[in-house]
């Protein structure tokens, strides 16, 4: 008796899920036909996409920001680990015989020239654009935030098509909040946000740029072509306990 | 959840006499798995951090680090006597993401570089996010523990960096449960010890004061409270004692196991059951069975005041079926009987 | 007197002069004088009062945390010619016989008081009850005696009454006691549960502080140990001439252990330990054997006819027993009475605070069953217990104290988040002192 | 109670297989007319209430289950807000005390956090804001020793009985209750079985009851689901939370019952009830203001200290067992009246001597004391040792001079120091007016220098000394 009820319930549940699935599929296909460009972008390799976005931003971008923008903009979810492999692939392809016109590369620390793996840039940019001084982290964050907010602004103005404009608005608002701007629910004063961020950038950009340019000169002379893109190779770290004679400094 | 890194040191510092704990630290895999392999039955209690805690912890960190560590800069600025906008931040996860050992080693290298720069008087970040440290023990299995404070904050007063940790649990004013306080202070203790080790490699004359900083969450949203500067001299020493104990336990476990896995020799190890184990260790129930017949089963205090007496002996003293063997027992017997009579009268009345 | 001691004394005098000069005539409204045990804290208060009430013609109020200190100060000030010396205490109190008829005493505050230059001695709570009769500028100078025993929350009530405040106190002794949970105050901007000087320095670190650099009570060996253990920020040295603090016994020692310890005191070791084997019995609220031992030690000083050389024979009033716990103290009292020494005072550390005497017999706070608590480890309590004696202090403990200290692992949960860990500081002091005494062969095991 | 006594009680409790009272009087006044209960289930670490059961204790509670406790919309809490506001209104109108029963302090914390989140929340409705304020009032009052508003079932039991378990296990209400239930043959075993599941206002998450993970997963699914399917998911969340918040409620009710069944008299608490009621009534009418200014902080500190002193005093006055313990420490002095000096019977002046066999006495000269169980008060004027090693306390009688029963030679009396602690609001008012820079200023002022005597202070003092 009870079983039969359960079976009926499960049947109806199954049926409904099927119906919802069909609905969903239909909506998706409709959407895809509406926004062709993105569907093409969906097929594009992540590498090319990042190259374009970085170019569009005009400044190095952080993996986390890229992932959170690509999702609403292109309707693609990029797993965090994907950027790791992207970095390795790019270095490999640089090492291979077939040279590419432009490479995806990293920012470099101003003193050591080490790769800052989460920040992506283009090999065809002048080196100072990719050097990270003490304040560069702040500048790049603000520039990335401004870029994101501007994307949302363009989408709202109908000058750009996004896979999910609503989510993009909130990604932009998050950036504004992270920058310490006052953010009210459901309000998106893009212009005001951009103005405040521009001021914040102006406060530090001068000094930062100067430092990056001098550092770049030194790095350029010190690093080979590969290192200039993917950073100096790491020195070895000796871990303790390797030899019985080894004694801890805290003893 | 496995007993690794600073968790291991915190646990050892909390109960240095427990050899079982020593074996758990040496054993690969989770604490729960350790229980199951020792006891031979599935662990039937709650285990591990809850989803909601993990989520909140991650969100709290994300917020704190976002915007070039804006909330952190704002939280520390008053303490450092600087303008939040002027503070510089370096997030080592940006340099080298990931939680695998190679990533840790890479961040350790960067951290060491920054420490050297600071000693050499070169410009260094005021706040280092996700630095990596390492605390050595001795050659042998587990010759070191990876220690990863959430932060290192430059202290102009001390002239060194000091460790800082983010705690996503909510603090209304300053109410923090004693057990949580002890745990987080021991964590800071382990972090400071590791930091001292690193400084020591650079210049043995550098003195890192015994303090660390805690950033708790306010009740509304995920904003951090003003940092609490913790006085952790006692915690540092407790961690030292924990490490020394670990080395003793490691020696014993190694002598016993002859190459086998640590969990296999647990039966030959001495547990040191305490009330606190009940809320912190998967093995508590198992270890407790060893004191089950003794007064210590009524808690640490009972164990202290009555000594290593069995429950049966205690009951016999009360009933008079056993004669006291010394003053101590005589007084116990006398007072227990008086107490029993008094309560039986009340019952009757 | 050696040249070095004279130099120290001269330096101490200069510090005292400067402290009074700055606090009475300078431009800082609040000054703090930190004083180690027996540095002449009360003498500083007397001098400041005498100077202020003299030519400058100030109206001075001396405020004490409790009433007992109030009577002591009044007694001391009677030795000076002052234009006016008054005392005000609560209406239900009765003047101690020693003061009756010697000082103008007022029950509560009355309008006739504090007229013209002079000094009035009272306590905080009395002033607080009569604020409606007082106001800003009621006094030209407020001297807060034993300021480190006065909670900022109490000082707050009277802070506005004088334009100048001089706080005098001992930073190494017991902090103000609060029965309430002060966890949340610890994180606040106003740590009003702290002592008044600590509160002031927390908010205004630039407040002038004068550290009295000598102790006139403690012999050099005690002084060095106490300074290193409890006063890291207040360097001071003993100016006591050991020759003036010599003890000798008319009768030779008979009882092994105990008499060896007494002879060590006579030989100039002003801090010694006597231990009983084993650990305190966990089923007793007081370690009766240990209490008996303390009574016996006190008795031995008198039986052996201890003489303060060049001074006098010691009597029961020259010896005091200090026990952190009331109940244990009771057991010592019983032991003393059984030996016909009922007049020897036994009291808790709190009640010995501020007093001195030739010989003190102190129960070690860690000589107790089970792991030490925050109370047992409290640095201030141990500091007071070890700094009452002018000639000798005999610490009495179970041998287990050594193991307790060796095996201690700090719990890290005794103080609120963000608070200074006084428990740990206390343990460190305990460890330093015990290890030093052991290293210097000052521990006599029975 | 010292560790040794406590342990012996545990041993006996274990032998008798039931909880043993360690008090002969209650520290909690009887429930007033306006008495309610609240039980909650929170999300761990998030500290968001996801289910709340509330109501009067004589009937089944109203239960609210929150499907989206993290979300900004708190309108689902309105019924609770209205209930709380209505309850408070009832007590204000009746000008009578109120009582809130809770299963344990975790519930109190959850309410306090709720208060912190909404009492100043501009986006929330007025009713929710008021609810937040009331939560803060309740939580704040609960921090004051001797308060009579909040009754924490677990704490009440812990404060009045011991069981055969380890003290740490007595934090678990369900476990303590095993020691009260005659139907439970082996309370130790049963209690430890019960401890496997939490009794701390959270969902269990054991392998056999993985409710916390389950609800977490169901919420995720429900977010993306719709229609009947979504309803089914929500029904499952509702069922789990409803079940466990009811469990918490039942524990609270059983805990209260167990406590009341101890039948401990609650005499001598009127003063505490009066203070507590006054404080709460003021806050309910005037709103909650956290102390930030120094004078407010000082007031708060002395309110707590006075509360502690009064609570201790009330407990001593009414509990012979506690007095017996206090005598050992000299806080109470038991003795016999050995002399009465009273020129005119029933009139002042009247002095008496009380001879006690206690050698340990914590009274000091001029201490105000009262004679337990009478209206007689006095001041200590003398403390002497008796030939037998006891203590003679001489008192000047200042109140109850007509109470001849104890003011006559041979009468047995117990002396206890009076609780005179009070909050000097008048003085604090003056402090607030005067705004001394030391407490209210940000920088230390400089004052005009005074002409120095130009002489050494020591020289002046020496000169001023009498020969």
Specify the pLDDT at position A24: 81
- The tokens describing C28, both together, are 């800082």
Residue B222: the pLDDT is: 82
Contact D77, D62 (CB under 8 A): no
Structural domain containing residue D359? 292-441
3-state secondary structure of B186: helix
B108 closest CB neighbour out of A83, A237, A244: A237
D52 and D190 share a domain? yes
Which chain A residue has the Cα nearest residue B193? A250
Q: Is residue A55 part of a domain?
A: yes
Is residue D150 located within the same domain as residue D36? yes
B327 contacts C281? CB cut-off 8 A: yes
Q: Return the higher-pLDDT residue of B23 and A234.
A: B23
Nearest CA-CA partner of A149 in A135, A137, A138, A160: A160
Mean pLDDT of the residues in chain C: 95
Cβ contact (<8 Å) for A250 and B193?
A: yes
Kindly list the residues from chain A whose CB atom is less than 8 angstroms away from the CB atom of residue D228: 16
Among D271, D290, D309, residue at a domain's last position:
D290
A15 domain residue, yes or no? no
Segment among A191-205, A231-245, C255-269 with least mean pLDDT: A231-245
User: Within this chain, do residues D161 and D258 fall inside the same structural domain, yes or no?
Assistant: yes
Asked if D277 contacts D199 with a C-beta cutoff of 8 angstroms, the reply is no
Q: How many domains does chain A have?
A: 1
Give percent of chain A with pLDDT exceeding 70: 86
Answer yes or no: do C184 and B233 touch at CB < 8 A: no
Structure tokens that stand for A63 in this block: 């993996």
Taking an 8 Å cut-off on Cβ atoms, the answer to whether D359 and C330 are in contact is yes
**Do residues C75 and C243 lie in contact, with contact meaning Cβ atoms separated by under 8 Å?**
no
Name the strand (E) or helix (H) holding D270: helix D270-286
Q: What pLDDT does D255 receive? A: 98
Q: Between residues 88 and 127 of chain D, which touch chain A (CB distance below 8 Å)?
A: 123
Residue A22, domain member (yes or no): no
CA distance D210 to chain B (A): 9
Are D141 and D272 found together in one domain?
yes
Supply the pLDDT for residue B1: 52
Chain B residues with CB under 8 Å of D136 CB are none
Using 70 as the pLDDT threshold, list the residues of chain B that sit under it: 1-3, 349
d(CA A149, CA A187): 13
Residue A1 lies in a domain: no
**pLDDT of D145 strictly over 80:** yes
Contacts 24+ apart (CB under 8 A), C240-243: C240/C215, C240/C216, C240/C390, C241/C1, C241/C5, C242/C268
Average pLDDT of span D236-245:
98
Nearest Cβ partner for B88 among A134, A141, A239: A134
Tokens in use for C16?
């005292």
Q: What rounded mean pLDDT belongs to chain A?
A: 87
Instruction: Evaluate whether D29 touches D311 at the Cβ level (below 8 Å).
Output: no
Q: How far is D128 from chain A (nearest CA, A)?
A: 19
Q: CA C217 to CA C37: how far, in whole Å? A: 7
Please give the residue of chain C at the shortest CA–CA distance from D7. Answer: C283
Start-end of H helices in D29-125 = 78-93, 105-118
Domain boundaries, chain B: 51-242, 295-348
Chain D from 232 to 251: CB within 8 A of any A CB: 232
Helix (H, G, I), strand (E, B) or coil at B231: strand
> CB–CB of B233 and C419 under 8 A?
no
State how far the Cα of C393 lies from the Cα of B186, in Å rounded to an integer: 37
pLDDT at residue A36 tops 60: no
Kindly give the residue spans of alpha helices, DSSP state H, lying in chain A: 2-34, 36-43, 46-57, 63-74, 80-95, 136-156, 165-178, 190-222, 225-230
CA distance linking residue C144 with residue C32, whole number of Å: 9
Whether residue D396 sits in one domain with residue D256: no
- Order the strands of the A115-122 sheet from edge to edge: A61-62, A115-122, A104-109, A131-132
Segment D108-125 mean pLDDT: 95
**Upstream peptide bond of C206 is cis (omega within 30 degrees of 0):** no
The answer to the question of residue D394 being in a domain is yes
Say what the alpha-carbon torsion angle D418, D424, D425, D431 is, to the nearest 10 degrees. Answer: -170
**D229 contacts on A by Cβ (under 8 Å):** 13, 16-17, 20
pLDDT of residue A99: 86
CA distance A44 to A41: 5
| Token pair of A87 as six digits | 């970095």
Map residue D41 onto helix, strand or coil. Answer: strand
CA–CA gap between residue D184 and residue C230 (Å, rounded): 56
Q: Report the candidate in B20, B19, B15, B48 with the shortest Cα–Cα distance to residue B34.
A: B20
C-alpha D218/C-alpha D1 separation (Å) is 49
Q: At what angle do helices B51-80 and A165-178 cross, to 10 degrees?
A: 40
**Alpha-carbon span B11 to C106, nearest angstrom:** 62
DSSP state for residue D345 in the 8-state scheme: T
Please tell me the pTM assigned to this model.
0.93
Contact C190 D4 (CB under 8 A): no
Residues on chain A touching B222 (C-beta within 8 angstroms)? none
CA end-to-end distance (rounded Å), chain A: 74
Q: Which residues contact B59 (CB under 8 A, 6 or more apart)?
A: B168, B222
| Alpha-carbon gap: A31 to the closest alpha carbon of chain D (Å) | 19
Over range A106-130, report the average pLDDT: 95
pLDDT above 90 (res A245): no
D244 vs D51: CA distance, rounded Å = 9
Q: What is the DSSP code (8-state) at residue D35?
A: E
Which of the two residues, A32 and C61, has the higher pLDDT score? Answer: C61
Which residues 6+ apart lie within 8 Å of B299 measured at CB? B275, D10, D165, D166, D167, D168
Please name the residues in contact with D120: beta carbons below 8 A apart, sequence gap of 6 or more: D129, D132
Residue A215 lies in a domain: yes
Residues of D in contact with C204 (CB under 8 A): 438, 443-444
CA distance D457 to chain C (A): 5
Determine which of A7-11, A244-248, C388-392, D225-229 has the lowest per-residue pLDDT on average.
A244-248
Read off the pLDDT of residues D68-95 as tens digits, 9 standing for 90 and up: 999 889 999 999 999 999 999 999 999 9
Report the alpha-carbon distance of residue C122 to residue C109 in Å, rounded: 10
Cβ atoms of C196 and C152 closer than 8 Å: yes
Average pLDDT over residues C347-363: 95
What is the rounded radius of gyration, in angstroms, for the C-alpha atoms of chain A?
24
Of D231, D266, D290, the residue that ends a domain is D290
Task: For residue A210, give how far its alpha carbon lies from the nearest alpha carbon of chain D (Å).
Answer: 40
**From CA D330, how far away is CA D357, in angstroms rounded?**
11
Residue A4 has pLDDT above 80, yes or no: no
Of the residues A16, A22, A23, the best mutation for testing chain D's interface (the one with the most D CB atoms within 10 Å of its CB) is A16
CATH number at residue D420: 2.40.30.10
Neighbouring C-alpha atoms within 13 Å toward the C-beta of C141: 32
Q: What does the DSSP 8-state code read for residue D378?
A: E
Residue D319 with chain B: CB contacts under 8 Å = none
Domain that holds residue A190: 43-230
D453 in a domain, yes or no? Answer: no
Nearest residue, CB atoms, D436 vs list C160, C179, C326 = C160
Residue D182 at interface with chain B, using a CB cutoff of 8 Å:
no
Extended beta strands in D44-180, E state: 48-56, 62-65, 98-102, 150-152, 161-162
B161 CB contacts (<8 Å, ≥6 apart)?
Answer: B115, B118, B128, B152, B153, B154, B155, B195, B208
Q: Take residue B38 and report the two structure tokens written for it.
A: 């020792």
Distance from the Cα of C413 to chain B's closest Cα (Å) equals: 5
Determine which of C412, C413, C418 to mutate to test the interface with B (most B C-beta atoms within 10 Å). Answer: C412
Helix axes B233-257, C422-439, angle to 10 degrees: 70
Query: How many angstroms separate the Cα of C65 from the Cα of each of C151, C154, C324, D99?
Result: 8, 9, 21, 39
Which residues 11-30 of A are in CB contact (within 8 Å) with D?
13, 16-17, 20
pLDDT cut 70: percent of chain C above it: 100
Predicted pLDDT at A247: 47
- pLDDT at position A3: 67
CB A12 within 8 A of CB D232: no
State the pLDDT confidence band at A42, using cuts at 50, 70 and 90. low
Q: Which residue of B has its CA nearest to C412?
A: B182
Q: Do chains A and D touch (3 or more CB pairs under 8 A)?
A: yes
Q: What's C53's DSSP letter?
A: H
CA angle D33, D39, D41 (to 5 degrees): 165
Strands (E) across C186-269 are located at 209-211, 214-215, 237-238, 247-249
Nearest to B4 by CA among B111, B103, B148: B148
Considering only residues B4 and D338, tell me which one the structure prediction assigns the higher pLDDT.
D338
* Dist. CA B243–CA B193, nearest whole Å: 11
- Chain-centroid distance of CA D357 in Å reads 35
φ, ψ dihedrals at D63, nearest 5°: -120, 130
Question: Residue A44: its pLDDT value, please?
Answer: 85
Same-domain pairing of D175 and D264: yes
Give, as one character, the DSSP assignment of residue C162: B
pLDDT of A251 reads 41
Question: What pLDDT shows up at residue A162?
Answer: 95
Residue A30 is assigned to a structural domain of this protein: no
Please check whether residue D224 touches A, CB under 8 A: no
Q: What is the pLDDT of residues B231-265, one digit of tens each?
A: 999 999 999 999 999 999 999 999 999 889 999 99
With touching defined as 3+ CB pairs under 8 A, do chains A and C touch? no
Rg (CA), chain B: 24
Residue with tokens 């758990």: B24
Q: What are the tokens at D461?
A: 């003092």
- Stretch D222-247: mean pLDDT: 96
Of D245, D261, D290, the one marking the end of a domain is: D290
In a domain, A35, yes or no: no
In a domain, A242, yes or no: no
The CA distance from C158 to C124, in Å, is: 7
* D255 close to D157: Cβ distance less than 8 angstroms: yes
**C424 reaches B (C-beta below 8 A):** yes
Distance between CA atoms of residues D7 and C282, nearest Å: 11
pLDDT at A250 over 90: no
- Specify if D52 maps to a domain: yes
Residue D12 lies in a domain: yes
Name which of A8-12, A45-49, B268-272 the model is least confident about.
A8-12
Residue of D7, D261, D324 for testing the chain B interface, max B β-carbons within 10 Å: D7
What integer pLDDT is reported at residue A8 of this predicted model? Answer: 77
Q: Which of A187-191, A233-237, B323-327, C337-341 has the lowest mean pLDDT?
A: A233-237
Number of domains composing chain D:
2
User: What residues of C are in contact with residue D445 (Cβ under 8 Å)?
Assistant: 29
Asked if C39 contacts C236 with a C-beta cutoff of 8 angstroms, the reply is yes
d(CA D315, CA B321): 38
Q: Tell me how far apart the alpha carbons of residues B129 and B166 are, in angstroms, rounded to a whole number.
A: 11
State pLDDT tens for residues D13-42. 999 999 999 999 999 999 999 999 999 999
């Amino acid at each position: 008796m009870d079983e039969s009820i359960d079976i009926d319930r499960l049947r109806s549940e199954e049926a409904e899920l099927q119906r919802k699935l069909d609905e969903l599929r239909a909506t998706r296909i409709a959407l895809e036909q509406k926004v062709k460009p993105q569907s093409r972008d969906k097929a594009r390799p992540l590498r090319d996409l990042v190259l374009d976005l970085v170019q569009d931003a005009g400044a190095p971008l952080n993996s986390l920001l890229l992932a959170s923008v690509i999702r609403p903009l292109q309707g693609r979810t990029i797993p965090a680990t994907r950027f790791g492999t992207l970095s390795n692939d790019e270095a490999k392809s640089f090492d291979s015989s077939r040279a590419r016109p432009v490479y995806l590369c990293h920012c470099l620390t101003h003193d050591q020239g080490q790769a800052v793996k989460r920040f992506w840039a283009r090999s065809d940019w002048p080196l100072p654009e990719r050097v990270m001084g003490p304040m560069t982290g702040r500048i790049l964050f603000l520039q990335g935030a401004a870029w994101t907010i501007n994307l949302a602004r363009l989408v709202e103005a109908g000058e750009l098509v996004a896979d999910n404009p609503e989510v993009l608005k909130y990604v932009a608002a998050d950036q504004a909040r992270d920058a310490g701007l006052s953010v009210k629910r459901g309000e998106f004063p893009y212009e005001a946000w951009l103005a405040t961020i521009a001021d914040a950038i102006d406060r530090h950009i001068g000094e930062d740029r100067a430092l990056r340019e001098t550092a770049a000169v030194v790095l350029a002379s010190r690093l080979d072509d590969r290192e200039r893109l993917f950073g100096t190779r790491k020195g070895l770290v000796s871990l303790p306990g390797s030899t019985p004679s080894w004694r801890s400094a805290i003893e | 959840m496995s007993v690794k890194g600073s968790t291991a040191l915190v646990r050892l510092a909390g109960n240095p006499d427990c050899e079982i704990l020593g074996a758990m630290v040496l054993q690969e895999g989770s604490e729960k798995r350790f229980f199951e392999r020792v006891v031979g039955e599935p662990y039937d209690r709650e285990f591990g951090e809850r989803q909601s805690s993990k989520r909140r912890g991650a969100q709290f960190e994300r917020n704190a680090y976002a915007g070039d560590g804006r909330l952190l800069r704002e939280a520390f600025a008053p303490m450092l006597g600087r303008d939040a906008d002027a503070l510089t931040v370096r997030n080592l996860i940006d340099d080298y993401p990931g939680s695998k050992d190679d990533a840790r080693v890479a961040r350790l290298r960067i951290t060491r570089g920054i420490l050297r720069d600071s000693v050499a008087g070169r410009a260094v970040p005021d706040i280092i996010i996700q630095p990596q440290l390492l605390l050595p023990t001795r050659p042998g299995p587990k010759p070191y523990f990876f220690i990863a404070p959430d932060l290192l904050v430059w202290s102009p007063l001390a002239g060194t960096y000091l460790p800082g940790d983010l705690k996503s649990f909510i603090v209304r004013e300053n109410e923090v449960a004693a057990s949580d306080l002890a745990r987080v202070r021991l964590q800071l203790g382990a972090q400071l010890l590791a930091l001292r080790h690193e400084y020591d490699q650079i210049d043995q004359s550098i003195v890192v004061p015994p303090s660390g900083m805690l950033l708790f969450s306010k009740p509304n949203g995920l904003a951090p409270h003003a940092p609490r500067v913790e006085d952790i001299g006692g915690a540092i020493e407790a961690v030292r004692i924990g490490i020394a104990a670990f080395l003793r336990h490691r020696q014993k476990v190694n002598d016993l196991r002859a190459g086998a896995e640590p969990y296999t020799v647990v039966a030959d190890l001495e547990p040191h059951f305490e009330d606190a184990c009940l809320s912190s260790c998967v093995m508590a129930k198992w270890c407790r069975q060893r004191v089950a017949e003794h007064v210590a089963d009524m808690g640490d205090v009972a164990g202290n005041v009555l000594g290593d007496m069995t429950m049966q002996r205690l009951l016999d003293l009360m009933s008079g079926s056993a004669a006291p063997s010394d003053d101590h027992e005589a007084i116990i017997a006398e007072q227990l009987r008086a107490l029993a009579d008094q309560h039986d009268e009340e019952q009757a009345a | 007197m050696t040249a070095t001691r004279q130099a120290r004394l001269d330096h101490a005098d200069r510090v005292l002069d400067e402290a009074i000069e700055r606090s009475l005539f300078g431009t800082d409204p609040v000054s703090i004088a930190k004083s180690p045990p027996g540095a002449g804290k009360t003498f500083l208060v007397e001098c400041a009062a005498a100077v202020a009430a003299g030519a400058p013609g100030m109206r001075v109020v001396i405020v004490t945390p409790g009433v007992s200190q109030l009577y002591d100060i009044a007694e001391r000030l009677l030795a000076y010619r002052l234009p006016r010396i008054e005392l005000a205490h609560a209406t239900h109190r009765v003047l101690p016989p020693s003061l009756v008829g010697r000082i103008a005493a007022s029950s509560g505050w009355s309008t006739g008081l504090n007229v013209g230059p002079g000094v009035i001695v009272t306590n905080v709570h009395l002033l607080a009850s009569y604020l409606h009769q007082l106001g800003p500028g009621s006094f030209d100078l407020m001297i807060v005696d034993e300021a480190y025993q006065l909670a900022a929350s109490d000082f707050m009530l009277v802070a506005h009454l004088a334009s100048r405040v001089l706080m005098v106190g001992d930073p190494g002794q017991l902090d103000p006691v609060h029965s309430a949970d002060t966890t949340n105050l610890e994180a606040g901007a106003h740590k009003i549960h702290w002592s008044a000087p600590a509160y002031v320095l927390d908010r205004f670190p630039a407040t002038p502080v004068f550290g009295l650099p000598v102790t006139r009570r403690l012999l050099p060996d005690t002084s060095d140990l106490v300074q290193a253990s409890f006063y890291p920020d207040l360097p001071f040295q003993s100016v006591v001439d050991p020759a003036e603090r010599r003890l000798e016994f008319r009768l030779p020692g008979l009882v092994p252990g105990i008499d060896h310890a007494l002879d060590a005191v006579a030989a100039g070791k002003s801090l010694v330990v006597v231990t009983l084997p084993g650990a305190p019995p966990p089923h007793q609220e007081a370690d009766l054997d240990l209490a008996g031992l303390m009574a016996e030690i006190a008795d031995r000083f008198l039986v052996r006819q201890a003489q303060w050389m060049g001074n006098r024979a010691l009597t029961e009033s020259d010896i005091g027993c200090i026990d952190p716990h009331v109940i244990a103290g009771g057991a010592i009292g019983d032991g003393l009475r059984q030996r016909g020494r009922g007049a020897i005072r036994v009291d808790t550390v709190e009640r010995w605070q501020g007093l001195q005497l030739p010989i003190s017999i102190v129960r070690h706070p860690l000589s107790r069953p089970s792991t030490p608590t925050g109370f047992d480890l409290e640095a201030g309590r141990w500091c007071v217990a070890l700094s009452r004696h002018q000639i000798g202090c005999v610490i009495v403990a179970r041998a287990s104290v050594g193991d307790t200290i060796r095996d201690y692992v700090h719990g890290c949960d005794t103080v609120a988040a963000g608070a200074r860990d006084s428990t740990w500081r206390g343990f460190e002091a305990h460890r330093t002192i015990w290890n030093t005494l052991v290293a210097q062969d000052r521990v006599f095991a029975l | 109670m010292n560790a040794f006594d406590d342990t012996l009680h545990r041993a006996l409790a274990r032998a008798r297989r039931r909880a043993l009272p360690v008090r002969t009087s209650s520290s909690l006044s009887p429930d007033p007319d306006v008495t309610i209960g609240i039980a909650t289930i929170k999300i761990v670490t998030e500290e968001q209430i996801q289910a709340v059961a509330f109501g009067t204790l004589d009937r089944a509670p109203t239960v609210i289950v929150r499907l989206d406790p993290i979300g900004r919309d708190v309108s689902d809490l309105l019924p609770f807000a209205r209930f709380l506001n209505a309850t408070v209104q009832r007590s204000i109108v009746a000008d009578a005390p109120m009582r809130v029963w809770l299963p344990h302090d975790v519930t109190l914390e959850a309410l306090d956090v709720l208060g912190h989140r909404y009492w100043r929340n501009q986006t929330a409705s007025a009713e929710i804001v008021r609810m937040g304020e009331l939560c803060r009032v309740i939580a704040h009052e609960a921090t004051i020793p001797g308060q009579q508003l909040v009754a924490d079932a677990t704490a009440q039991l812990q404060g009045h009985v011991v069981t055969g378990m380890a003290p740490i296990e007595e934090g678990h209400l369900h476990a303590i209750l095993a020691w009260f239930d005659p139907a439970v043959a082996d309370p130790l075993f049963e209690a430890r079985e019960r401890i496997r599941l939490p009794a701390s206002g959270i969902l269990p998450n054991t392998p056999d009851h993985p409710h916390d993970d389950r609800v977490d997963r169901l919420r995720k699914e429900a977010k993306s689901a719709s229609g009947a399917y979504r309803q089914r998911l929500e029904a499952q969340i509702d069922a789990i939370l409803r079940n466990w918040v009811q469990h918490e409620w039942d524990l609270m009710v059983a805990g209260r019952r167990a406590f009341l069944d101890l039948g401990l008299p609650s005499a001598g608490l009127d003063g505490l009830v009066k203070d507590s009621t006054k404080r709460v009534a003021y806050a309910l009418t005037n709103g909650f203001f956290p102390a930030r200014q120094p004078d407010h902080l000082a007031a708060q500190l002395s309110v707590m200290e006075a509360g502690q002193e009064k609570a201790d005093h009330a407990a001593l006055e009414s509990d012979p067992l506690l007095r017996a313990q206090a005598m050992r420490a000299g806080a109470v002095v038991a003795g016999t009246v050995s002399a009465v000096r009273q020129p005119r019977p029933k009139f002042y002046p009247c002095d008496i001597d009380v001879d006690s066999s206690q050698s340990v006495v914590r009274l000091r000269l001029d201490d105000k004391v009262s004679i337990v169980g009478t209206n007689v008060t006095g001041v200590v004027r003398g403390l002497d040792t008796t030939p037998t090693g006891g203590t003679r306390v001489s008192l000047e009688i200042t109140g109850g001079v007509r109470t001849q029963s104890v003011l006559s030679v041979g009468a047995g009396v117990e002396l206890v120091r009076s609780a005179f602690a009070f909050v000097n609001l008048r003085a604090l008012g003056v402090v607030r007016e005067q705004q001394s820079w030391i407490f209210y200023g940000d920088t230390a002022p400089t004052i005009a220098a005074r002409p120095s005597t130009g002489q050494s202070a020591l020289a002046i003092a020496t000169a001023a000394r009498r020969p």
